[in-house]
Amino acid sequence: HEDPNGGDSNAYRTLRSSSGHTRVSRAVLGGGLSISTLPNNMTRVVEDSGKYYTWRIFGPENQRAENLWIDMNDVRHGQVRVHGILSNSYKQAVPVALSFDFPFYGHYLRQITIATGGFIFTGDITHRMLTATQYIAPLMANFDPSYSKESTVQYLDNGEVFVVQWEHVRIPGKESVGGFTFQVALYKTGTITFSYRDIPLSVDVISSAEHPVKAGLSDAFMVMSPSSQSQMIYEYHRVEIDVTKITNYSAVEFTPLPTCLLHDSCELCLSASQTSGCSWCHVLQRCSDGMDRHRQEWLDYDCAEESQGATFPDVKTDSSTKSVGLANTGVIAGLASALVLLLALILVSLYVSYHPSAVSPLYLIQRRKSYWPSLKFQKQESGYTEVEGGGHEKDSIVEAGPC
């Protein structure tokens, strides 16, 4: 969808709160993307077999929904900050530092990006299409906080939980239905909650023509394309909440599950019962299933190949001659396998040297994984501006809570 000025109507601008002037930042991976979207009939989850999160939806009649709501006016929760720029802007996003390490899909985040459109972007590299993946979205929609002085985007961080609340935000063209009020809470434990207070319009009838409409979680990894001219983002997991369940006083609670990245030793990596499909990479000293944000390193260091025959040392001893003989046989077999692998690598290197147009092994690996939805970043003109300016607080808004 295109806006009247010729830009992408889904594009966001990122800003940095400070003081002083305005400047245009350098391009970050360019502004152009080609996006492979998921089929429209894919609801609730993609590849969600309970691997990363379990979650429950609570209706307004459930006391748990009320308990999950965090009252931003209660000073016991900490200092509330009303963001002046976000509260007076449309399709803007601002990075905010966290006071604690927040585990998201097994990765620890210390900075997130709050967007006016009802979601948090969790990626390391910002781009125009923040709505595509790597998000935590209680209710992603075309909200415009600049419409009214009553509309605000506020947050608090007390060291145990980080909360963002979109309060009385309205949708262009639907202002008369009233404002939406909802929040997301990121707990130090990795738990994520969505809480809804005012939902004046059924979410399933909100138009997605100018902005995606969805709720849930998503993460992706980034790898270099074979030509090294662009980077590819692959969305490896998504949870989609049924938006018809989002009503006044409803809530959603996500509980994180252990991931391979949790294990810090080869033995735990290969034997832990609470995770599956994990492999240990000795070079990186990392446990992974290859589907996380470190995938580029996993490919660069051939961890996928190494992990195929990975075992951890056997710490048990046996004085019998038979056991010793078997151990020696295993060592000999291992050395033979290593020599065969080395010879194969030498032959491949010679072949590539004399056949430079041949397809590289890394390209073949990436091609095998090409079924993931991908976003291609092309080196074009930047679609982002970074504004260094504190903005002005709305007249009716003051910071709440103790200093």
> pLDDT digit string (tens) for 311-364?
544 433 333 333 434 445 555 666 666 676 777 666 756 654 555 444 333 332
pLDDT of residue 316: 36
List the beta bridge partners of residue 194: 184, 252
pLDDT of residue 10: 56
Rounded distance between C-alpha atoms, residue 341 and residue 330, angstroms: 16
**Tokens matching residue 37:** 């979207």
**Rg value, the chain, Cα:** 25
For the chain, give the number of residues: 403
pLDDT tens for 89-127 read 999 999 999 999 999 999 999 999 999 999 999 998 877
- pLDDT > 90 fraction of the chain, expressed in percent and rounded: 56
Q: What phi, psi does 5 have (nearest 5°)? A: -90, 5
- Torsional class of 245: left (φ above 0), alpha (ψ -120 to 50), beta (otherwise): alpha
Q: Is the pLDDT of residue 256 over 90?
A: yes
Closest CA to 1 of 300, 208, 229: 208
- What single DSSP character describes residue 290? S
- pTM for the full predicted model: 0.71
Closest CA to 333 of 311, 349, 316, 317: 311
Could you tell me where the beta strands, DSSP code E, fall in 170-282? 180-187, 192-198, 214-224, 231-240, 251-256, 279-281
Closest CA to 133 of 104, 161, 153, 110: 104
pLDDT tens for 186-204 read 999 999 999 999 999 999 9
- Report the amino acid identity of residue 364: L
- Predicted confidence band of residue 306 (pLDDT cuts 50, 70, 90): confident
Which whole number is the average pLDDT over 205-223? Answer: 94
Q: Is the pLDDT of residue 229 over 80?
A: no
List of long-range contacts for 298-304, beta carbons under 8 Å, 24+ apart: 299/223, 299/362, 299/365, 299/366, 303/279, 304/279, 304/365
pLDDT tens for 153-183 read 999 999 999 999 999 999 999 999 999 999 9
Rounded distance between C-alpha atoms, residue 82 and residue 156, angstroms: 9
Closest CA to 130 of 214, 42, 191: 214
CB atoms within 10 A of CB 155: 21
| Three-state SS at 118 | coil
pLDDT tens for 35-68 read 333 333 333 333 445 789 999 999 999 999 999 9
Q: Beta strand 92-104 with 13-14: parallel, antiparallel or unpaired?
A: parallel
Rounded distance between C-alpha atoms, residue 218 and residue 212, angstroms: 14
Q: Is the pLDDT of residue 80 over 50?
A: yes
- What single DSSP character describes residue 2? B
